[in-house]
Structure 1
Amino acid sequence: MAEWGTSSPGHLVDLLETTAESTPDRTAIHSRDGAVTYRELHERAGRLAALLRADGIGPGDVCGVLAGPSTEGVVAILAVVRAGAAYLPLCPSLPPARIDDVVVQARPRLVLSAEPTERTLTGDVPVLPLSVAEDRARDVPAPAAPPAIQPEDAVMVLFTSGSTGTPKGVVVPHRALLNRILWGQREYPVGADDRLLHHTRYIYDFSAWEVFAPLAFGATLVVGDFTAYPDFDAMAEIIQKHDVTMVHFVPSVMSGFLGRDAARQCTSLSTVFSGGESLPASLARRVTETYDATLYNQYGPTETCIDSTFFRYDPAAEDAGGVPIGRAVDGTRLYVLDDRLRPTPDGVAGELHIAGVGLATGYLGRPDLTAERFVPDPFGGDGERMYRTGDVVRRRPDGNLEFVGRTDRQVNVRGVRVELGEVEAALTAHAEVTQAVALVTDDERAHLVAWVAAAPGTVDGGTLREFVQRRLPRPFVPDQVVVGDTLPLLPTGKVDHGAVRDLVAAALHRTPGADAPGTGGQEAGGVAGEVAALWRDILEVDQVGPDDDFFELGGHSLLAVEMVSVLNERLGSAIDLADFFESPTVRTCATLIEADGAR
């Protein structure tokens, strides 16, 4: 890894500034508001960084950024990093209670907000709108010297799901991010002719590569800025319009995107990244059959900075099942160990432990949890640590790793790591719920569901979904909540998770009857009839009534995106996904279409 110092080309901040100064007139960002050159981006971020430093913000501090993928979000992130502080991403779509939990734990000195309206945060943390901050920054003189950033200084703090119901903040140091950016540039160089689709929300770690890698090496960011995400048709339109060459998808989103006719016209794509979920070989094959592009499957917990492994997919040598997660990125050591921390032979499953330059410092304010997950590395030097991922893998004879499963109750739901304990804690916070079990179904369209115990007639599944929507990020909200009197127990007194899974499966796949979903009255004609017909096809149910709930029929958020997208295409409408989520019924959907004037 390159040496550190204010003049070293290996310093991430210096890389950003050197590129901006050497290519000032090149386009750095394309968005719906127009193009921003490297000179303009450099000056805006520099002035804002000067304002932060004038307010005493620098190395060792945390500064929040409340923004979705946007020009404003990039400016704010660059400014915080150039000031020497760590940026704390806060997604505007998160429930206020979740944002408050994060803010209380992280205690940022300031939150820069791209939102057009004021927002009050818990803990008396000042919130400064970016428009106001940039106006104020015009009168602040530039500092005489850049901040002295050290390898162990934090560059970002990312919060992930917590098993106790409280999110935990991962502190990522500069050395980890720098290692990942420089390795990526060696493996798949980003050049001046590249354009990357910037659509990953900042709370997810791959967004750091989306922001820093192209701007460090002179490429162009194309900001999606979608009204509803993921809008596959809008995504394809943006890729075609700007000749996007590089894009990252979680497999579930990739599958939905490839299912659209417009996606096949995105012929400019030359590099496609997959991560966040297991990548089926069938989906990988579809990618390489659709595009003349190189496909990389990548894996890495937030605790090891974006990616720890990579696999360059070769369709000529494909295997049945899932695509391997591959080999270690530079500066990373991978250990497949048994429960006594002994290496397992090739082909024998074990827990993956990760060591090397990419490790996070630990969990913010949680030395106990840090010590539990970041343990001494028995194969490394004095003081070196390794991270216990909880992921079970096996090593193939060719040296590549295959993902097998988990050792705990953490699951992956459409690319997002979810602690089932956090979902259960949110459900049991309801006054009528005595117990809750969350799980992921094991059918072909696996999604997050929950079985709760409550007194008969006191609460229903829809009410509980609305309750947790106000407390959890959308990927953490169960697609269906099934209410019962009690939870089945094992002789030991513990919850019988196998029996719960059977109960949920029976509830979700029962034949529609007099009081079952799918019989909400005689199906309507006209627009409502077309909506109902599409729901029957997508959800694979026999009947759909006008007041049936999309999610109670077996839908989930990604299917909802697909459904709305198909309806808008078929009927020439432009209904908004957020409006549908307010009341996800056939009647509401038809009303929105008719109000839009599509018919």
Structure 2
Amino acid sequence: MPDAPNRPVANLARMFERQVASNAGGESLNLDGVALSYHEVNRRANRLARLLARRGAGPEKIVALAFPRSAEMVVAVLAVAKTGAAFLPVDPEYPADRVEFMLSDARPLLVLTDQAAAGRLPGGPDRIAVDDPAVVAEVAQYSEDDLDVVTVSPDALAYVIYTSGSTGRPKGVAVTHRGLANLAVAKAERLALNRHSRVLQFASPSFDAFITELTATFESGATLVIPPQATLVGPVLEEVIAERGVTHVVLPPVAAASMSPAAVPGLECLVVAGEACSGDLVARWATAARMINAYGPTEATVCATMTQPLTGGATPPIGSAINGVTCYVLDDSLRMTAPGVRGELYLAGEGLARGYLGRSALTASRFVADPFAADGSRMYRTGDLVSMREDGALDFHGRTDDQIKLRGFRIELGEVESAVVSHPSVDQAVAVVREDAPDARRIVAYVLPAAGAAPTARELREHAAGFLPAHMVPAAFVPMDAFPLTPSGKLDRAALPAPAEGPAPAGRAPGNAEEELFCAIFSEMFEGAEVTAESNFFELGGDSMLAVTVIRKARRAGLSISPRSIIEQPTVEALAAIARQNKEKAQLSAPA
């Protein structure tokens, strides 16, 4: 059980300061083996909060935070909370168009970032780089003592997270302090966290799983372990967990499946969330660690249900409601279904978000009056089909719409289609998720070219990558003369053909050591393919998950590339050039 008292608190700042008061010397953050105490992190956050307050930060104001996984990101989140303002995480690696939309839509007071990320951000609100010498000097002048308590309503805005939108643009979910506090207490209890626990920050700060990691850690006085800037999967993930003494992780099932329990003997608790968990995965992990399956949309403050520790090897349920949350399984007439009967899941209680930032009509359509409550409260329509077991646990049966979960990411296929169809050579586009090989789910886009046009898959991929995060860019593009239709005239998704495995393109032989390495990696991954220096990763059959394998294999050979490099420059020769440049930069920056 957590060492700290189990009670919701006003906001994240008060939660953290409570730990400082009782556990000042305890390890709050661990980054590259360097430990920062609760007291030290609090000092830094207090100084930065005073700078933000002087710039106008306060209740109902939004401050955008553009950092990678880092101590600076955590300090910035706490600093914003101390002013009473809300934070908006922005991934600096997102396409400029997407970042520009988020900033124009949320209209933050300012953007807090660092010098490395500042240069990649589009124009917009004022930005403050925390490592700018002038900013460092200003912050150093401020007091490190706690600020006067800012009165903040539990229903005030705590943070905004953008999720994929069916209209072609992401939508901002506005979450309150009430929901955040309820999440922190529920997670700390269910995960059995205490001051000796070490929680891995696996999630990117731009995804709400980061909120779970952060709040559960600070509610219980545990340590948040911030990993290096690497793709966390397979041996890399195992190494981080084992070497940094991580005891608790929250992972999408695909990441958990990439690890061996034997490689992480110190891991005490594994929470899987974000997509369906298989019985095989339960069988692998349930005897090695406390394994829990969790579920929840952003609109319900990350988590709404959790299982008890799993056993056996059957497909697990998504659990029952956490404290403070009510689950309804309703039919089309909003009547409760009987146990075992499928219905749509509606959520009510402490975790409900305010709604969608600046989108009152969309909010009204998804956050509806709760007919089972007498206090005029609301419930959220999830769009998820479930059935309830006799013991109250829920089984998941899919969606009522085109929203999907892929490798832990929530994706609206309508947004993918909008990005593809915005190419001038595309008339219509349909995006689907296919699994043409076991455990190889990927997004495939089918396109009707505009009259007289013949866009290549490479052109379409590069275009889509300019609007979508890497995990949303289709792995394959299939040109169509016409879309198949059902007898009623609707699109027949089941009749869409599998992407053809085209012949290996002709091309030159590898011309240097880096090209030889990537040719060898591609040949190993795509058996039977004739790989040349001009071979394209996606045309050979690659997708975003296989891209992680490329990154891992290249890393073992001493070469560094990023997921976005593969999306934007997927040929052997281009990746070799990027890896060579990264290697030369690393050698120049290394100490003599």
Do these two structures clear the TM 0.5 threshold for a shared fold by scoring above it? yes
Separation of aligned partners in 1, 2:262 and 2:517 = 26
Where does the alignment leave 5 or more consecutive residues of structure 1 unmatched?
A: 1-6, 511-515
Which residue is 2:114 aligned to?
A: 114
Alignment of 1:583 onto 2:569 = yes
Q: Is the 8 A contact 1:45 1:75 kept in 2?
A: yes
Which residue is 2:250 aligned to?
A: 248
Q: Is the 8 A contact 1:294 1:312 kept in 2?
A: no
1:235-314 paired onto structure 2 within 5 Å: 235-258=237-260, 264-289=262-287, 292-314=288-310
Separation of aligned partners in 1, 2:580 and 2:108 = 46
Local SS of the residue matching 1:30: strand
1:490-509 paired onto structure 2 within 5 Å: 490=486, 494-499=490-495, 501=496, 503=497, 505=498, 507-508=499-500
The code of the aligned residue for 2:534 comes to D
Which residue is 2:168 aligned to?
A: 165
Correspondent of 1:337 among 313, 321, 330? 330
Local SS of the residue matching 2:258: helix
1:414-453 paired onto structure 2 within 5 Å: 414-443=407-436, 444=438, 445-453=440-448
Cα distance change of structure 1 residues 49 and 453 upon mapping to structure 2, 3 Å threshold:
same
Cα distance change of structure 1 residues 134 and 303 upon mapping to structure 2, 3 Å threshold:
farther
The Cα shift of 1:239 comes to 1.8
Separation of aligned partners in 2, 1:83 and 1:66 = 18
Which residue is 1:459 aligned to?
A: 455
1:48-59 paired onto structure 2 within 5 Å: 48-59=48-59
Local SS of the residue matching 1:458: coil
Local SS of the residue matching 2:17: helix
Where does the alignment leave 5 or more consecutive residues of structure 2 unmatched?
A: 1-6, 585-592
Cα distance change of structure 1 residues 370 and 472 upon mapping to structure 2, 3 Å threshold:
same
> Which digits, 9 at most, give the CA deviation of each residue in 1:4-33, with x for residues without a partner?
xxx996654322102113222222111138
The Cα shift of 1:347 comes to 1.5
> Which digits, 9 at most, give the CA deviation of each residue in 1:170-227, with x for residues without a partner?
010000110111112222232111111112112211111211221232211111132x
The Cα shift of 1:308 comes to 0.3
Alignment of 1:222 onto 2:222 = no
Moved more, 378-387 or 90-99: 378-387
The code of the aligned residue for 1:361 comes to R
Separation of aligned partners in 1, 2:18 and 2:272 = 30
Q: Is the 8 A contact 2:92 2:121 kept in 1?
A: no
Separation of aligned partners in 2, 1:314 and 1:175 = 29
Alignment of 1:559 onto 2:546 = yes
The code of the aligned residue for 2:31 comes to S
Separation of aligned partners in 1, 2:170 and 2:329 = 27
Cα distance change of structure 1 residues 117 and 60 upon mapping to structure 2, 3 Å threshold:
closer
Separation of aligned partners in 1, 2:527 and 2:321 = 41
Separation of aligned partners in 2, 1:543 and 1:239 = 37
Separation of aligned partners in 2, 1:586 and 1:166 = 32
The Cα shift of 1:240 comes to 1.9
Local SS of the residue matching 2:40: helix
Separation of aligned partners in 1, 2:8 and 2:254 = 40
Separation of aligned partners in 2, 1:549 and 1:36 = 44
Taking only aligned residues, the RMSD between alpha carbons, in angstroms, comes to 2.7
Separation of aligned partners in 1, 2:318 and 2:414 = 27
Which residue is 1:138 aligned to?
A: 140
Which residue is 2:381 aligned to?
A: 388
Correspondent of 1:351 among 344, 347, 354? 344
The Cα shift of 1:467 comes to 0.5
Q: Is the 8 A contact 2:10 2:152 kept in 1?
A: no
Cα distance change of structure 1 residues 590 and 154 upon mapping to structure 2, 3 Å threshold:
closer
Moved more, 24-33 or 414-423: 24-33
The Cα shift of 1:567 comes to 4.8
> Which digits, 9 at most, give the CA deviation of each residue in 1:376-429, with x for residues without a partner?
111112311111100111122332111110000111111111111111111111
Separation of aligned partners in 1, 2:374 and 2:119 = 48
Q: Is the 8 A contact 1:103 1:122 kept in 2?
A: no
Separation of aligned partners in 1, 2:8 and 2:346 = 32
Cα distance change of structure 1 residues 429 and 37 upon mapping to structure 2, 3 Å threshold:
same
Which residue is 1:397 aligned to?
A: 390
The code of the aligned residue for 1:559 comes to L
Separation of aligned partners in 1, 2:282 and 2:425 = 45
Which residue is 1:3 aligned to?
A: none
Separation of aligned partners in 2, 1:568 and 1:124 = 36
The code of the aligned residue for 2:202 comes to H
Q: Is the 8 A contact 1:518 1:541 kept in 2?
A: no
Q: Is the 8 A contact 1:523 1:532 kept in 2?
A: no
The code of the aligned residue for 2:273 comes to G
1:185-204 paired onto structure 2 within 5 Å: 185-204=188-207
Figure out how many residues of one structure are paired with residues of the other and give that number. Answer: 569
The code of the aligned residue for 1:13 comes to A
Separation of aligned partners in 2, 1:549 and 1:121 = 29
Which residue is 2:590 aligned to?
A: none
> Which digits, 9 at most, give the CA deviation of each residue in 1:563-585, with x for residues without a partner?
3323543xx33332354444323
Cα distance change of structure 1 residues 9 and 404 upon mapping to structure 2, 3 Å threshold:
closer
Separation of aligned partners in 2, 1:145 and 1:287 = 46
Separation of aligned partners in 1, 2:427 and 2:333 = 37
Which residue is 1:468 aligned to?
A: 464
Which residue is 2:4 aligned to?
A: none
Separation of aligned partners in 2, 1:464 and 1:420 = 16
Separation of aligned partners in 1, 2:47 and 2:535 = 53
The code of the aligned residue for 1:518 comes to A
The Cα shift of 1:541 comes to 5.4
